[in-house]
Amino acid sequence: MSTPLSAPPRLNPLSYVIFGSRWLQLPLYLGLIVAQCVYVFLFVKELWHLVHGANTLTEQGIMLLVLG
């Protein structure tokens, strides 16, 4: 015959709090994603300026554009 299914073991309340606290990190991760998107946008913008002006910029101008 088959054995009756037993109920899963109960977790103590601390386990629920620890497991549920991962949602507190969600706003931080979303903020980091937005900040990274801003950095990528600014990088692409500066790269466009560098590529667009590569023929007219001096070595010093290129270095300042890369470092700035």
Q: What is the pLDDT of residue 15?
A: 84
d(CA 68, CA 58): 15
| Domain edges within the chain | 34-68
Q: What is the pLDDT of residue 2?
A: 66
**In the predicted structure, residue 37 carries a pLDDT above the cut 90:** yes
Give per-residue pLDDT as tens, 38-60: 999 999 998 998 898 888 988 99
Burial track 43-68 (b if 16+ CB lie within 10 A, e otherwise) = eeeeeeeeeeeeeeeeeeeeeeeeee
More confidently predicted of 12 and 2: 12
More confidently predicted of 36 and 67: 36
